Amino acid sequence: MRGSCHCGNVKIELAVKVDLVTSCNCSLCHRYGAIWGYFTLDEVKVENITGRIDSYKHGDEYLDFHHCAQCGCVTHYTPREKAQSDRMAVNLRMFEKSLLDDVAIRYFDGADTWEFKTQSADRYFI
Summarize as ranges the residues that interact with Zn ion (CB under 5 A).
5, 7, 9, 68, 70-71
- DSSP lists the bridge partners of residue 32 as none
Q: How far apart are CA 19 and CA 42, in angstroms?
A: 18
Provide the minimum distance between the beta carbon of 32 and Zn ion in the complex, in angstroms, as a whole number.
Answer: 15
Which one, 7 or 105, has the nearer CB to Zn ion? 7
Determine phi and psi for 93, rounding to 5 degrees: -75, -5
Q: How far apart are CA 20 and CA 100, in angstroms?
A: 9
Q: How far apart are CA 71 and CA 60, in angstroms?
A: 27
Provide the minimum distance between the beta carbon of 75 and Zn ion in the complex, in angstroms, as a whole number.
Answer: 8
Which one, 63 or 68, has the nearer CB to Zn ion? 68
Which one, 46 or 71, has the nearer CB to Zn ion? 71
Compute the chain's Rg from CA coordinates.
Answer: 14
Provide the minimum distance between the beta carbon of 22 and Zn ion in the complex, in angstroms, as a whole number.
Answer: 23
Which one, 54 or 61, has the nearer CB to Zn ion? 54
